[in-house]
């Protein structure tokens, strides 16, 4: 009778251990693994630019660039400057207007995917024709005569900033899915010293032009 007690006690302890394992350890392990997977997935998503539908922005698709905050104008479009050409980059005055779509071309594309990444140099090109016989790529232009801010215009690189004027980058704001566009092509030239800037707006003569060296414009990307 007494010899069977240790065996009975072992069975009870074994059952207790299994209960603890099932009731506490396993759920905790599952929670930890799920949490780690969520962190890895979030970190992966955080590398990419997301459109208004929550999908990654792709470099072979067309997107409208629109202000994230109402009252700043409509979508990105051509704006006339002091001369007929080159055309400047700006926003439509009507908030309901989408403007012209753009296509992104990364400086260093990833061969395994076509998602546009944050903080990487890329070209921004209007997928539209203009009256000027030139490229519709965005580029850094001269300073605005009134405000002294550097304008965003269209065309290929020129002597303004050498061969780097066409490269911009998309940076995350504090709000998921809302971004800023910067000119700071350090991926194109890591040893160069640039006067970097974030794209904002200038309102002059009934037009909304994009320019650096002022308040930043929060934007979103809407697929066509």
In the prediction, which pLDDT does 133 show? Answer: 87
Confidence of residue 117 (pLDDT cuts 50, 70, 90): very high
Whether 181 shows a pLDDT value over 80: the answer reads: yes
In the prediction, which pLDDT does 62 show? Answer: 97
Residue in 158, 223, 162, 221 with CA at minimum distance from that of residue 188:
162
Confidence of residue 35 (pLDDT cuts 50, 70, 90): very low
In the prediction, which pLDDT does 44 show? Answer: 46
pLDDT mean across residues, the chain: 84
Backbone angles phi, psi at 170, to 5 degrees: -105, 130
Average pLDDT of the segment spanning 191-195: 92
In the prediction, which pLDDT does 213 show? Answer: 94
Name the more confident of 76 and 2: 76
Whether 167 shows a pLDDT value over 50: the answer reads: yes
Confidence of residue 46 (pLDDT cuts 50, 70, 90): low
In the prediction, which pLDDT does 14 show? Answer: 58
Question: What is the rounded (10 degree) CA torsion for 214, 215, 221, 224?
Answer: -60
Q: Which of 43-47, 75-79, 116-120 has the lowest mean pLDDT?
A: 43-47
In the prediction, which pLDDT does 41 show? Answer: 42
Confidence of residue 155 (pLDDT cuts 50, 70, 90): very high
Query: Is the backbone peptide bond immediately before 113 cis, with ω within 30 degrees of 0?
Result: no
Whether 194 shows a pLDDT value over 80: the answer reads: yes
Instruction: Tell me the pTM.
Output: 0.78
Contact predicate 220/52, CB 8 Å: yes
SS3 assignment for 97-140: CCCCCEEEEECCCCCCCCECECCCCEEEEECCCCCCCCCCEEEE
């Amino acid at each position: 009778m007494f010899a069977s007690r240790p065996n009975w006690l072992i069975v009870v302890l074994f059952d207790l251990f299994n209960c603890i394992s099932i009731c506490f350890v396993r759920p905790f392990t599952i929670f930890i693994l799920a949490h780690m997977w969520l962190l890895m997935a979030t970190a992966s998503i955080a590398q990419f630019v997301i459109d208004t539908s929550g999908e990654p922005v792709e470099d072979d698709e067309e997107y409208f660039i629109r202000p994230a905050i109402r009252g700043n104008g409509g979508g990105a479009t051509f704006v006339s400057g002091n001369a007929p050409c080159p055309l400047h980059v700006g926003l439509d005055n009507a908030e309901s207007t989408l403007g012209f779509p753009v296509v992104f071309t990364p400086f260093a594309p990833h061969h395994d995917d076509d998602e546009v990444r944050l903080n990487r140099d890329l070209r921004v090109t209007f997928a539209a024709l203009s009256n000027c016989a030139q490229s519709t790529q965005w580029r850094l232009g001269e300073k605005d005569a009134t405000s002294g801010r550097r304008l965003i215009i269209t065309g290929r690189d020129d002597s303004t900033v050498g061969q780097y004027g066409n490269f911009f980058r998309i940076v995350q704001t504090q709000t998921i899915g809302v971004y800023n566009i910067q000119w700071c092509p350090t991926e194109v030239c890591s040893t160069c010293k640039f006067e970097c800037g974030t794209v904002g707006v200038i309102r002059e003569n009934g037009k909304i032009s994009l320019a650096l060296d002022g308040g930043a414009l929060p934007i979103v990307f809407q697929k066509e």
